[in-house]
Amino acid sequence: MRITEFKVPLLIAALFATVSTAQTTGASASMPASQLTESHKANTPLPAASNRNPDLLHRWTARWISHPEDPGDTFGVFHFKKEIELDAKPDTFIIHISADNRYKLYINGTYVTFGPARGDRLNWRYTSLDLAPYLEPGINVLAATVWNFAEHRPVAQHSFRTGLIVQGDGEAERVADSDSTWMVTACRAFSPLPVQLNAYYVVGPGESFDGSAHHWDWQDPGFGLGFVPAREGEVGRPTMSLEKYGGIAGHVLMPRTIPLMEESPQEFQGVRRSNPAGLVEDNYNGTQVLTLPPNTTATFLLDQGHLTTAYPVVQYSGGKGSQISLTFAESLFHADGSKGNRNQVQGKSIVGNTDVILPDGGSGRVHEPLWWRTFRYVEVQITTRAEPLAIHRIHSRFTGYPFEEQAEFRVDANFEADAGFQSQNGFRADAKLLGEIWEVGWRTQRLCAGENYFDCPYYEQLQYAGDTRIQCLVSAYVSGDTRLFKNALLSYRDSKMPFGLTQSRYPSYDPQLIPTFSLVWIAMIHDYWMLTPDTETVRDLVPGMLSVLDWYEDHLEPNGMLGKLEWWNFVDWVVRDGWDAGVPPGARDGQSAVISLYYVYALRKGAELLEAFGYPQQARRYQTLADRVGDAVREQCWDAGRGLFADTPDKNYYSQHANVLAVLGGLVPKGGEEKLMERVLELEDMAPASYYFTFYVIEALQAAGMGDRYLETLAPWKTMLDNGLTTFAEEPEPTRSDCHAWSASPLYYFLSLVCGLQPAGPGFETVEFRPHLGPLPGVQGTIPHPAGKISVRFQKTDSGGLGGMIDLPAGVSGLLHWKGKEVSLRPGANEVQL
């Protein structure tokens, strides 16, 4: 059984070529799919070590520019342009570009890319691009739409002052430098539409666009209506050390460290309902021309078929005075607020963020919002006035981090749906289910990754450490790409508070502290150390762990457990007595076994890192401290009668969380882990782990030598699929978010636990296999590795042995463990016969 790959469907170029790019709103330009592909091949950011003129490492010649009447901190959308004349088409033409808050770049009317990659004021990212493929002899128009959502901006978006900066790399490119020779106009067509949802929603506003207030030809050569010379601001500063008297630049410019986002055209699957009935055919997918007569009101519901993150694009003509509203939602709602099966629309209504387009009556208009949307369903409401309105196309352009699916996971063909297996808890799994979990899990991971990892794409688009650790492991194992992983580690480092904790989510202009997520950051550093050869990054990060560990040490009580803790000590979304907003018993008042054991878990990982990177004294001290805190928890929270760790010394509450952390923290005597984990799986009256913390339950199962029980833990994922979810949710029903990448953890465990591949030492230089097939007769897998791909094939034999093949890249050796036996593995093909 081949688990299918998640790919965004492509449209043929001809469908894109019907509308002139000169007629776009300036928020973006529609273009042939082939042109989109070629543009992004050309404009992968240049290597940071070699792309920059050395003279630009300390000071730029370009200046930040803005509109002369703009105060810099209010909502505004601005068009910038400059015309340059070239004698010949250049072989290369490298620029470095950034903006506050955001920009979309166009060359000669063709859309190039958007940015900048998100950071903060001390790490304001610029992108290096080679514009040569877009330039021609003669007059060339460099153009950018820049906007500041101000008080409406996403919480993930830092800001100092609205502006644009463009720096030519060499003498020939300095003609592009941003200064007062650039022209700018305020685009009054856009206004924010605040989103009203009964949920935490912080990704920015909806947008209203008035076509009659927009200059549709603003990118044309010679067009100057409303344009004025740009106001010059401070010179571009790529370092903090230049100010004579210690001042810091408003934006400290740093090179982009991640690739450009993927942008791929896609179509809707079809329409699910319309009013009046029969307005559109059921097979209408936005590609057919839809003409509405004057004085008509119509509504129809488009279904993408699965959740996506994309720029919705509407191409239309005529309709002066009409209104087009698009409401975007992950799912529809019953009257009582429940979602039910996501595939069902009957009797449900849509609630979500909305964009409004007010046509000006012109022909061949193309509009998309400034920022992308998350949706499966889009309700389109159209009201026409005296003129008919023609909708030529409604489609979208998928966007996200360009992860490529390099891994494969296959279940033996004999493991068919009717063969399946029945676990001890009554749950039944089969090859079809595992394939669907893989497909939906990878889609979940992809939609939760852009310029940083997201907890969820619809509601927050914030990079939380608890979510991000799982996302890093999934993306590393499935794609082999660890650039966003590194970006996240450095981002949390940059978020450090003066008293030592990292912020729980970053980038974020609204500081939030979840102390347990600072502990997760330490575990992330350890994961990165094991999975990548990038020891220099780890070496730089290791000292930063000490302030986190010391903050917790300062909160230890005389009895050795943690006392009362400040901030929000979230552990998991648990609805059970003693838990409050994800905080376990004892965290607010002191004596929480869960938080104390979380600390032990991080202390042990931190001690390993300190020992490896030249801090042996600190390593020994923290290892001793881990033993002391662990002993205190064991002494005060172990309930011998129940054979479980209680959540607090008063032994009123019990949870899976405390007990799996006890296993992971080394508190359970060898040989006793299995007995304890059997009780954990039975649940009894313990608080159960939700989707997020199930990751640690599985880690503890593996540590207890019970990895063969893994597949029976997948019942909640089957429930989500049965409910029509096309991505995995934040928590069990009722759930806010239908897409939360911490719930994509099965992909990691299919490869690391079922196939059994894990690093045997730092840098993934050596590998080990501890396969846990459980009821599966066999598996096959391909896993990316820093040295190449690793392929495995395991089959159980009739006698209970193991056969198959392991193929390792050149220079990589390893070990295979199976039922107490150990086999050495060499580079190349290794036949398995045990």
Distance CA 463, CA 202 (A): 13
- Express each pLDDT in 732-762 by its tens digit: 999 999 999 999 999 999 999 999 999 999 9
- pLDDT at position 418: 45
- If asked whether residues 493 and 628 sit together in one domain, one would say no
Let me know if residue 201 belongs to a domain: no
Distance CA 367, CA 23 (A): 9
Distance CA 733, CA 466 (A): 21
CB 465 within 8 A of CB 473: no
End-to-end CA distance of the chain: 24
- pLDDT at position 281: 81
- pLDDT at position 416: 55
Let me know if residue 15 belongs to a domain: no
Let me know if residue 178 belongs to a domain: yes
Let me know if residue 206 belongs to a domain: no
pTM for the structure as a whole: 0.93
- pLDDT at position 422: 54
- If asked whether residues 238 and 361 sit together in one domain, one would say no
- pLDDT at position 424: 57
- If asked whether residues 104 and 235 sit together in one domain, one would say yes
Let me know if residue 326 belongs to a domain: yes
- pLDDT at position 27: 43
Bridging pattern class, strands 183-186 and 124-130:
unpaired
- If asked whether residues 219 and 281 sit together in one domain, one would say no
* The residue to which tokens 């927050």 are assigned: 460
- If asked whether residues 531 and 559 sit together in one domain, one would say no
- If asked whether residues 252 and 109 sit together in one domain, one would say yes
- If asked whether residues 606 and 466 sit together in one domain, one would say no
* Domain membership of residue 648 as a residue range: 555-705
- pLDDT at position 54: 84
Report the CATH number that the domain containing residue 798 is assigned in CATH: 2.60.420.10
Distance CA 218, CA 216 (A): 6
Let me know if residue 687 belongs to a domain: yes
Let me know if residue 220 belongs to a domain: yes
- pLDDT at position 412: 72
**How many structural domains does the chain have?**
5
Report the CATH number that the domain containing residue 386 is assigned in CATH: 2.60.120.260
- If asked whether residues 62 and 122 sit together in one domain, one would say yes
Distance CA 608, CA 602 (A): 10
The contacts found for 452-455 with CB under 8 angstroms, 24 or more apart, are 452/118, 452/156, 452/484, 452/487, 452/488, 452/491, 452/507, 453/484, 453/488, 453/741, 454/741, 455/505, 455/730, 455/737, 455/740, 455/741, 455/742
Instruction: Tell me which of 198, 233, 259 is where a domain ends.
Output: 259
Let me know if residue 540 belongs to a domain: no
The whole-number mean pLDDT for each consecutive block of 10 residues of the chain, a chain of 834 residues, reads: 29 29 40 34 47 80 97 97 97 96 97 96 95 96 98 97 97 97 98 93 97 97 96 90 73 94 96 89 89 95 98 98 98 96 97 97 97 98 97 97 97 59 66 95 98 97 98 98 98 97 98 98 98 97 97 97 96 95 95 98 98 97 98 97 96 97 94 94 90 97 95 95 98 96 97 97 96 93 96 92 96 94 95 92
- If asked whether residues 79 and 121 sit together in one domain, one would say yes
For residue 591, which phi and psi values (nearest 5 degrees)?
A: 75, 40
- If asked whether residues 48 and 172 sit together in one domain, one would say yes
- If asked whether residues 582 and 650 sit together in one domain, one would say yes
Tell me the two tokens of residue 711: 């597949």
Report the CATH number that the domain containing residue 480 is assigned in CATH: 1.50.10.10
Instruction: Tell me which of 206, 226, 259 is where a domain ends.
Output: 259
- pLDDT at position 338: 96
- If asked whether residues 328 and 367 sit together in one domain, one would say yes
